Structure 1
Amino acid sequence: MRKIIALTLSTLLLLSACAPKFEKQQEIVNESEDTTEQAIIPKYQISDQFYRTVLTEDNQIKPSESRGLVVSGLNTRYDIDEVERGLMRIAQDTFSPDEYFFQEGQYLDRQTVQSWLNRKLTPEQLQEKLNEDQNFVDLGLNPSIDKTADATLTDLNQESPIYLAHILEHNYLVEKDEQTVELGGIVIGLALNSVHYFKQEQGYDREVSIDRSVLEKEGKKIAEEVVRRVKLIDGLGNIPIVVALFEQQSKSSIVPGNFFTQGNVKADSSSIDKWSDINEQYYLFPSDEAENEHREDVVTFNRLKDSIAQFFPNYTGIIGKGFYKDDTLQQMTVEIPMQFYGKSEVIGFTQYVTNEALEIFPNYISFQMYISSVRGQESIVIREAGEEEPFVHIFQ
């Protein structure tokens, strides 16, 4: 039976110079459990690209049981952020933000996720564990590695790298009636390693690159097992699931990885119905990769770079990050470090680059520009796709 959460409806009060407040209504009895749980859903939605998040009755986000594990599993802050954002983008294809509400994953707790991220034990290792604890269950989803074998540790790691780096769960709730919501779907992201890091016998750091085709094959096998296990959890047997594979970048990368395929599981099934490719990728500007793959966009980016260099002698260079979907540039994020000698220079420079960006980037591309100095962030400029006027803020 679906887990039902009693919902207290709330109204967003927009008051000048005041934070939003939510009015609570009556408590609704949970139909599937002895206890009730109140929730608040903000009436205001930032945009149709974001879900409204279900809050607890004291206006707090109910954290995931595995909260914080993503930091140890992923290599960079870029990947940590993109796994969250990308998984929400994928969810929108199945669970519309107009009908569903977001909540952090509540079913895969820390201990469960950690046990699934382990290597599977060899028969000898498993027997040793069972001798210590007869109730031990081997739940590791990464390939086993026998450290007692004649092969070197380097050879073993090259043959059996760790594929699965992290498991991220998102829950999507839907209204059951006017005052109750229930779990309507689950989206699970499996972050996979494009590079496996390990130490040699001598203690030196080593790394093994993993080919995308191998990663996809192994990732899909892991995904099937994850789905099977999730469907066995009480209350999830009849819940639709979307599972997506994310390829994280190396530790030295300054652009995030990307989701590259997703599988859908019907409510009454315990296996993935079909896989669909996801064509998303980030490119660094300037870079040889961007030059080879998206020459025209590099020319556009260089127009902004050259324009800044021509008129501002304190210019030190800019770095761009382009997000592509179906091989088309969707968003350009630009970081501009400058040397300023006063706030008037900051204002003047921000006005100049805003005008240049509006002239250079087509209206169908959203852009974000972050202007900074040795003192920190100086200003930001944001123009959403399809909008005529940008948002500009000068930090005081």
Structure 2
Amino acid sequence: MLKRISKRGYLIIGLAVVIILGAFFYFVNRTQVTTTVSKTKGVQLTQSSAGDYQNVIKDGHYLTSAARGITATSLNNTLDIEDFETSLLNLSKTHFKTGRYIFQEGQYLDADTVNNLLGRQTDSNADGLNPKDNGKTDDSRNPIYVQSLSEQDFMTKSGTGLKLSGMVVGVAMNTQDAYQKEQYGATYYQTISDSDRKAYGEKIAPKIIAKIREQQGVGKDVPIVLAMYAAAPQDSLSPGAFYEQSTSKSGNTVGSWSSINDQSIVLPKESTDTSTIGSDENKGFSNFKSDIINFFPNIASTTASAQFSSGKLQSMSVTVTTQFYSPTEIDAFTNYVASSAVKYLPAAAPVQIKIQTASDLQAILFRKADDKSYTITRLS
């Protein structure tokens, strides 16, 4: 289904802030670097807290992805940027246990390879995962199905070094494709049905596996998990979610597909939403919202996005938009939000709270699962 919508401006500064914060909280929530526990040929391992992976440090620096930054620039909804990576890591933990495996940012698919995969098939790009442009601008056009890829590597110790023992690759699939009929023209949106998205993702899966196994150092017998993610539409107030997965144990064969019961919801829930998922979280969030409004009435909005897996809360992100007039007001309000959040917001999952005005980010509050208090970072 196609709808004509006027072109909207992009908030570049806001996007940059989200990307930076997403990367920061992704790293903080994943591991706590403390001391070097192994060192061979310039490779070190970090010591991690319970339930987190050790990470690879090379020559004193964190080993970043060979395709660094592509997820942040390719996903259309800024909420997906953080959720795609963190949800993928949570899924990885169900396949590669934190006590046995060492996490390494993707090193085998470089930026050029990933960009080629994310492109359309053309005479000069046979690797493109998206269909050829058929030149249509109506319901019959070939949409962009595959929006982003993210690789995570899992290593084990081998003598004095590390060896690749498994991979997880997240594939972000569009639920809505934005396009223009002419350069600088109006933006149109083409909805991709669940059935078409699912069928196309399964169709290209063997091609993805084959390309991964072509990379030097991967090998034919390294288990590769493909996890398919339904990216949220651009204007969605909640991120997308992973919906199915498959494992290639060897060669280019893709195993059977299994469903992933992930879901994201926006809080407060609409009065017409009768689903039971998030009911307790919605009640606590509503009490939190009422409490901080009573303390500081100049609040424009307070919303949250909550991510669930099989009905269990995995994380919550809260945004409080208000107006401040002095540093003392910012301090007082931030401290009150921190105490109210401890009282009303869930403790068994990580929670991030952003306090902002219409134009500036004022403070970030973060609490890991089961922590007693929030870490506060003031930005103004």
- Establish whether TM, by shorter chain, passes 0.5: yes
Indicate the residue corresponding to 1:182 in structure 2.
163
User: Match of 1:274, SS?
Assistant: coil
* Distance in 1, Cα, partners of 2:319 & 2:164: 40
Indicate the residue corresponding to 2:19 in structure 1.
none
Indicate the residue corresponding to 2:241 in structure 1.
258
Indicate the residue corresponding to 1:145 in structure 2.
133
Shift of the 145–368 alpha-carbon distance from structure 1 to 2, 3 Å rule, reads closer
Identical residues among aligned pairs (%): 27
Which residue of 32, 40, 44 corresponds with 2:44? 40
Pair 1:278-2:260 in alignment:
yes
User: Match of 1:175, SS?
Assistant: strand
Q: Is the 8 A contact 1:290 1:298 kept in 2?
A: no
Shift of the 308–240 alpha-carbon distance from structure 1 to 2, 3 Å rule, reads same
Q: Deviation per CA, 1:200-223, whole angstroms, max 9, x where unpaired?
A: 259432111111121111111111
Indicate the residue corresponding to 1:244 in structure 2.
227
Which one-letter code corresponds to 1:196 in the other structure? Answer: D
Q: Which runs of 5+ in 2 are unaligned?
A: 1-32
Write out aligned runs for 1:207-246 (5 A): 207-235=189-217, 236-246=219-229
Q: Deviation per CA, 1:288-326, whole angstroms, max 9, x where unpaired?
A: 399443455333322222222233333333121112121
Q: Deviation per CA, 1:51-93, whole angstroms, max 9, x where unpaired?
A: 2221212x12333333333344211332122222122111111
Indicate the residue corresponding to 1:370 in structure 2.
354
* Distance in 2, Cα, partners of 1:68 & 1:366: 24
* Distance in 2, Cα, partners of 1:24 & 1:183: 17
Greater C-alpha Rg: 1
Deviating 4+ runs (over 6 angstroms): none
Count how many residue pairs are aligned between Structure 1 and Structure 2. Answer: 343
Indicate the residue corresponding to 1:113 in structure 2.
114
User: Match of 1:349, SS?
Assistant: helix
Pair 1:356-2:340 in alignment:
yes
Shift of the 367–155 alpha-carbon distance from structure 1 to 2, 3 Å rule, reads closer
Indicate the residue corresponding to 1:34 in structure 2.
none
Indicate the residue corresponding to 2:57 in structure 1.
55
Shift of the 175–209 alpha-carbon distance from structure 1 to 2, 3 Å rule, reads same
Q: Structure 1 residue 102: deviation in Å?
A: 1.9
Which one-letter code corresponds to 2:134 in the other structure? Answer: D
User: Match of 1:318, SS?
Assistant: strand
Pair 1:288-2:308 in alignment:
no
Q: Which runs of 5+ in 1 are unaligned?
A: 1-18, 28-37, 127-135
Which one-letter code corresponds to 1:183 in the other structure? Answer: L
Which one-letter code corresponds to 1:138 in the other structure? Answer: A
Indicate the residue corresponding to 1:7 in structure 2.
none
Shift of the 209–340 alpha-carbon distance from structure 1 to 2, 3 Å rule, reads same
Q: CA RMSD, aligned part only? A: 3.0
